[in-house]
Structure 1
Amino acid sequence: MNYLLIPFLVLIAGLSQAAPTGNCNTTQIANITHLQANSTHPLTSALPYGAVLTHCTVPGTIALTFDDGPYIYTAQILDTLAQHGARATFFLNGRNKGSIDAFSDLVLRAYEEGHQLGSHTYTHASLDTLSYQEIIHQMTTLEEAFVHILGFFPTYMRLPFLRHSPLVLTAMADLQYHVIGASVDTKDYEHDDPVSNWISFEKFKAEVDAGGSVVLAHDAHQYTVELLVVNMLEEVERRGLIPVTVGECLGDSVGNWYRTKR
């Protein structure tokens, strides 16, 4: 990772102001220290805020993304990704099937293994049905949970059900969130069994053939984890594509993926 060189005293001051309360190893704390030191600088991302992004811009890359976790199957996905040397993006909920607090160890593990973490709102509410204040509350409540575990929160998010309205996108722009859609939607939640899971895989292949590159799946479904992820990664390898995080596939520096304060 490339970070700006910050004087030592600034690094120490940043760490003391927003130290995480989760269990972090030395590498984790070092990474957080850099993020906190850089938090006094404006974000430098060239990507728009409050606009839906659906395709990678870096040639030869593909971004596998997983919504609705962390959950009991997330560890197995992390194992599979590690076996294939792949990085992915996890859009997390505060409370959905699981709880970000109950699975804080998996949140830490995913981050430490090089995956990108994003917001999927606190309770997976359909934001297009909420008021502006309720939308903000969904996002900032999850930010607080991220800070409790990691010491920082993401600048990337995915809308539950992919639903939005002008008000929702205005709120995301106000909060400086990059909104990630999908150009490959596996619909894996419709085929969460060993008999029909192949339908999601065929949909994956067809939509990649059509130029799709940001892939939507879920780490809260058993057969996504046990079948679909392996099949997708093997197909990605067969095609000679590089499975990376959303930030990487959009050419955005890792220093722009998270922030420590508003």
Structure 2
Amino acid sequence: MSCGSVSNYTCPDQLCCSLHGWCGSSKDYCLDGCQPDYGNCGSTWMPTPAASTIGPLPTSIDGRCGPGVGICPSGQCCSPSGWCGITTDYCASPDCQTGYGKCDADATPRGLNTSAVRRYKIGKVPYGEAIYGCKDPSHVAMTFDDGPYLYTNDLLNILAEYGAKATFFVTGNNLGKGEIDSLAKPWRHYITKAYTAGHQIASHSWSHANFDELTPWEQKRELYKNEMALVNIIGKFPAYFRPPYSACGDICLATLEQLGYHVIYFDFDTEDYLHSTADTIQQSKDIVNAYFDQRDTKSSDTLSIQHDIHYQTVYNLTEYSLKIMKQKGYKLVTVGECLGDPKSNWYRSWPDKPKNR
């Protein structure tokens, strides 16, 4: 939920308005830079973990944390297995236990938040509805989730060799990789390279959280943070989104419709995430081969899913798939193109420019 002078919104009771214009209850919201005219502020702040039937949870003294156990000391993260620590194994989102210590996903990108952007709904592609396939025969829209990551740059080079366009559903701060707009990381350069090469940049949320386990406010926070980071990189943010874990019920769809997102799934799963080792990737290659072997190029289209966080996907499966699709005569396009949506509709501008959505 946004707040402050930009949106002219005051946070609900007990929540603080942070320096960057977000409502929350942690020290990042309530102490340095907190906006007192738009919410609670000051030294009265206390951590507010998940509700407990036995009252406030104590700060851990034995290294354990989590529901019914305790909160980690300041600066420490609560791991998925319920232990306090400071390394990636403890702090990496989405598995770090929010509310019981620090987590990577707590970070907020610099700059103004995007909640005040007017979400014009233009074009023929539906908003807030699940989309599973392409529109035109002979098109294949390859999509890559969860990056950018260590192998994304090489993936872009492989796609370029085959003259293929793809869509990247990017996450902002997951797997311990740090924030995608960080000047100290290579991720912003990979995203810029993909965007400049004509690939489509789409959102996969900030931390890869399960949207069906979040409140509408938490869902929006995941979306806004990723938008802010992408604005810092390419000067705009996407109107296309894929829900992490393919989990997006009615409440999630309502949030995405409100924020003007096209909700993209897929009709072909390569299952690369299940066969991500050198010994098992052949199973995904067999899936790809069998799928395209039974399809007629002139009458079929495909919207596929892969993950550029897996070594074998990038250096083994992708080129194998590209060769098959090229031999069959398919055109490798972005999701926007496969849906017949003009490129001018794929993104929203910030600061808000009505002629650009």
Distance, in Å, in 1 between the alignment partners of 2:158 and 2:188 is 19
1:62 aligns with 2:62: no
- Quote how far apart the aligned CAs of 1:44 are: 2.5
Partner SS, residue 146 of structure 2: strand
Preserved contact between residue 119 and residue 260 of structure 2 (Cα < 8 Å): no
- Mapping 1:98-247, distance limit 5 Å: 98=177, 99-101=179-181, 102=185, 103-208=187-292, 209=294, 213-247=302-336
Partner SS, residue 188 of structure 1: coil
Q: Percent of aligned positions with the same letter in both sequences?
A: 38
- Quote how far apart the aligned CAs of 1:167 are: 0.2
Distance, in Å, in 1 between the alignment partners of 2:317 and 2:310 is 10
- Quote how far apart the aligned CAs of 1:239 are: 1.0
Preserved contact between residue 140 and residue 338 of structure 2 (Cα < 8 Å): yes
Preserved contact between residue 115 and residue 245 of structure 1 (Cα < 8 Å): yes
Distance, in Å, in 1 between the alignment partners of 2:345 and 2:285 is 32
Q: AA paired with 1:130? A: L
Preserved contact between residue 201 and residue 232 of structure 1 (Cα < 8 Å): yes
Preserved contact between residue 127 and residue 263 of structure 2 (Cα < 8 Å): yes
Partner SS, residue 110 of structure 1: helix
Preserved contact between residue 210 and residue 245 of structure 2 (Cα < 8 Å): yes
- Quote how far apart the aligned CAs of 1:212 are: 6.1
Preserved contact between residue 183 and residue 207 of structure 1 (Cα < 8 Å): no
- Quote how far apart the aligned CAs of 1:42 are: 4.1
User: Match for 1:53 among 121, 125, 131?
Assistant: 131
Distance, in Å, in 2 between the alignment partners of 1:202 and 1:212 is 19
- Quote how far apart the aligned CAs of 1:196 are: 1.3
Distance, in Å, in 2 between the alignment partners of 1:40 and 1:143 is 13
Would the alpha carbon gap of residues 45 and 188 (structure 1) be closer, same or farther in structure 2, given more than 3 Å must change? same
- Quote how far apart the aligned CAs of 1:260 are: 1.2
1:95 aligns with 2:173: yes
Preserved contact between residue 136 and residue 301 of structure 2 (Cα < 8 Å): no
Tell me the TM-score normalized by structure 2. 0.60
Structure showing greater Rg:
2
Instruction: Name the structure where helix makes up a greater proportion of residues.
Output: 1
Partner SS, residue 141 of structure 2: strand
* Count of paired positions: 224
Distance, in Å, in 1 between the alignment partners of 2:301 and 2:331 is 14
Preserved contact between residue 152 and residue 258 of structure 1 (Cα < 8 Å): yes
- Quote how far apart the aligned CAs of 1:189 are: 1.3
1:86 aligns with 2:164: yes
- Quote how far apart the aligned CAs of 1:41 are: 10
- Quote how far apart the aligned CAs of 1:120 are: 0.2
Would the alpha carbon gap of residues 107 and 78 (structure 1) be closer, same or farther in structure 2, given more than 3 Å must change? same
1:31 is aligned to none
Partner SS, residue 198 of structure 2: coil
Higher relative contact order (CA 8 A, sep 6+): 1
Distance, in Å, in 2 between the alignment partners of 1:110 and 1:195 is 30
Partner SS, residue 215 of structure 1: strand
Would the alpha carbon gap of residues 212 and 198 (structure 1) be closer, same or farther in structure 2, given more than 3 Å must change? farther
Preserved contact between residue 137 and residue 301 of structure 2 (Cα < 8 Å): no
- Quote how far apart the aligned CAs of 1:138 are: 0.4
The unaligned stretches of length 5 or more in structure 1 are 1-38
Would the alpha carbon gap of residues 45 and 205 (structure 1) be closer, same or farther in structure 2, given more than 3 Å must change? farther
Tell me the TM-score normalized by structure 1. 0.82
Preserved contact between residue 119 and residue 259 of structure 2 (Cα < 8 Å): no
Preserved contact between residue 43 and residue 256 of structure 1 (Cα < 8 Å): no
Distance, in Å, in 2 between the alignment partners of 1:41 and 1:100 is 24
Distance, in Å, in 2 between the alignment partners of 1:193 and 1:40 is 44
Alpha-carbon RMSD:
1.7
Q: AA paired with 1:126? A: N
- Quote how far apart the aligned CAs of 1:113 are: 0.4
- Quote how far apart the aligned CAs of 1:201 are: 1.8
